[in-house]
């Protein structure tokens, strides 16, 4: 359910105070209408080029529904989701919460996102009270340039526009991107050659932070038209602020045919604060869908997938 966004597929900038991050999250991206006890409705959908619901928003709303049924002294620490059907952007999504377990220090919730009377997503979320651990360790953060030494999104686009071999349709798309107000600042560690289609390594890293409003960041990807998320597993290791620099690592450990049904890709993602604290880990299982005329190339693209906190 994670779509590759094209230059002509850009959402309008949010009409709100850019500094009011919480307001945008509550009133738009993650807004739910309570219908009954443990029953909610989501109606504010963002619809990508594929004309299906964007999976990241559905996961985020499911987590909001689950969190609304637990006490305030617990926080989410893991989330496991399965996308079982494509979402219909023409109708609202119902979120049905089941209170699976409430213990002394943790709670478990099961959530179904429902359309047309059947689930489009199922997920389980576990919440627990903060407790100091006697054992603490983590991998070292990779040695990468700090964000202050890397090009901004605007500088990268200007660099691509100076390429004399850039075809007109790509130039038009980049100019359209440049005119947009982008709410998430992203600085690739090793920016790709977007239009010459040079194969990339199956590991990419970015510095990311919210500029004030969390929304969808369109990032170019002309080779792959659609990637469908089949499931996500996420672990939340530490609380964090989305408006501070975080190192986002994306690495594909395996890609290939599975059970004869299209290319499958396993991707590991992690988010680390600039002060070296590991914040979030995620495993994704996605299906790659290419145009019939396209020949897949090795490596992964800069398709930007929205993280749900």
165 and 308 fall within a common domain? yes
Domain shared by 123 and 72, yes or no: yes
Report residue 282's pLDDT band, with 50, 70 and 90 as the boundaries: low
- Return the pLDDT at 268: 59
Confidence of residue 242 (pLDDT cuts 50, 70, 90): low
Task: Give the mean model confidence (pLDDT) for residues 222-245.
Answer: 59
pLDDT at 253: 61
pLDDT tens profile 158-216? 888 988 888 888 888 888 878 766 556 888 888 766 655 666 666 778 887 776 544 33
Task: Tell me: do 293 and 169 sit in the same domain.
Answer: yes
Out of 13-17, 140-144, 167-171, 305-309, the most confident range is 167-171
- Residue-range definition of the domain harbouring residue 265: 145-309
Same domain (yes/no): 186, 236:
yes
Q: Higher confidence at residue 70 or residue 264? A: 70
Lowest mean pLDDT among 14-23, 58-67, 144-153: 14-23
The residue that leads in pLDDT, 265 or 38, is: 38
Task: Looking at the structure, tell me whether residues 249 and 203 fall in a common domain.
Answer: yes
**Under a CB-based contact definition with an 8 Å cutoff, are residues 211 and 18 in contact?**
yes
pLDDT score of 153:
79
Whether residue 140 lies inside any domain: the answer is no
Nearest to 62 by CA among 146, 117, 120: 120
Q: Note whether 106 and 178 are same-domain residues.
A: no
Same domain, 191 and 217: yes
Count of the separate structural domains present in the chain: 2
CATH number for the domain spanning 90: value is 3.10.129.10
Same domain? For 164 and 261 the reply is yes
Given a contact cutoff of 8 angstroms between Cβ atoms, the answer to whether 56 and 13 are in contact is no
Per-residue CA distances from 207 to 9, 179, 268 (Å): 24, 22, 16
The answer as to whether 3 is a domain residue is no
Question: Rounded to whole angstroms, how far apart are CA atoms 43 and 62?
Answer: 13
Choose one of 129, 161, 189: the last residue of a domain: 129
Tell which of 102, 129, 156 closes a domain.
Answer: 129
| Residue 200 covered by a domain | yes
Answer yes or no: do 72 and 218 share one domain.
Answer: no
pLDDT digits (tens, 9 = 90+) for 107-139: 999 999 999 999 999 999 999 887 776 666 566
Q: How far apart are CA 33 and CA 39, in angstroms?
A: 9
Same-domain status, 193 and 299: yes
Q: Which of 99, 129, 159 is the last residue of a domain?
A: 129
Strands 278-289 and 184-188: unpaired
- The answer to whether position 225 is within a domain reads yes
Residues 255-264, mean pLDDT to the nearest whole number = 51
Question: Is 177 found in the same domain as 241?
Answer: yes
pLDDT at 35: 96
- Length, in residues, of the chain: 309
Q: Is a pLDDT exceeding 80 seen at residue 51? A: no
Tokens 């996500």 belong to residue = 232
Same domain membership, residue 249 and residue 105: no
Cα separation of 30 and 43, whole Å?
Answer: 10
* Predicted pLDDT at 198: 64
Residue-level pLDDT at 41:
95
Q: Is residue 195 part of a domain?
A: yes
What sign does the CA torsion over 219, 224, 228, 229 have?
A: negative
**Residue 22: inside a domain:** no
Q: Is-above-0.85 flag for pTM?
A: no
């Amino acid at each position: 359910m994670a779509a590759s966004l094209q230059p002509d597929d850009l959402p309008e900038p949010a009409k709100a105070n850019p500094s009011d991050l919480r307001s945008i999250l509550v009133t738009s991206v993650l807004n739910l209408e309570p219908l009954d006890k443990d029953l909610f409705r989501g109606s504010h959908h963002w619809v990508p080029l594929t004309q299906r619901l964007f999976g990241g928003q559905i996961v985020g709303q499911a987590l909001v529904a689950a969190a609304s049924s637990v006490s305030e002294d617990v926080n989410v620490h893991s989330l496991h989701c399965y996308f079982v059907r494509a979402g219909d952007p023409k109708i609202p999504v119902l979120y049905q919460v089941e209170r699976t377990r409430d213990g002394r220090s943790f709670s478990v919730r099961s959530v179904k996102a429902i359309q047309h009377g059947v689930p489009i997503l199922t997920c389980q979320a576990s919440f627990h009270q903060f407790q100091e651990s006697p054992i603490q360790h983590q991998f070292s953060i990779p040695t990468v340039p700090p964000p202050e030494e890397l090009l901004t999104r605007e500088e990268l686009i200007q660099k691509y526009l100076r390429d004399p071999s850039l075809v007109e349709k790509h130039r038009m798309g980049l100019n359209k991107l440049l005119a947009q107000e982008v709410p998430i600042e992203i600085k690739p560690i090793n920016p790709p050659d977007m239009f010459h289609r040079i194969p990339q390594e199956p590991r990419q890293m970015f510095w990311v932070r919210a500029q004030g409003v969390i929304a969808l960041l369109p990032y170019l990807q002309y080779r792959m038209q659609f990637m469908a998320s089949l499931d996500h597993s996420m672990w939340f290791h530490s609380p964090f602020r989305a408006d501070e620099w975080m190192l986002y690592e994306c690495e594909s450990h395996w890609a290939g045919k599975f059970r004869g049904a299209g290319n499958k890709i396993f991707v590991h993602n992690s988010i680390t604060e600039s002060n070296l604290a590991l914040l979030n880990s995620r495993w994704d299982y996605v299906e790659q869908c290419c145009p019939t005329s396209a020949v897949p190339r090795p490596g992964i693209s800069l398709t930007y997938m929205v993280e749900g906190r």
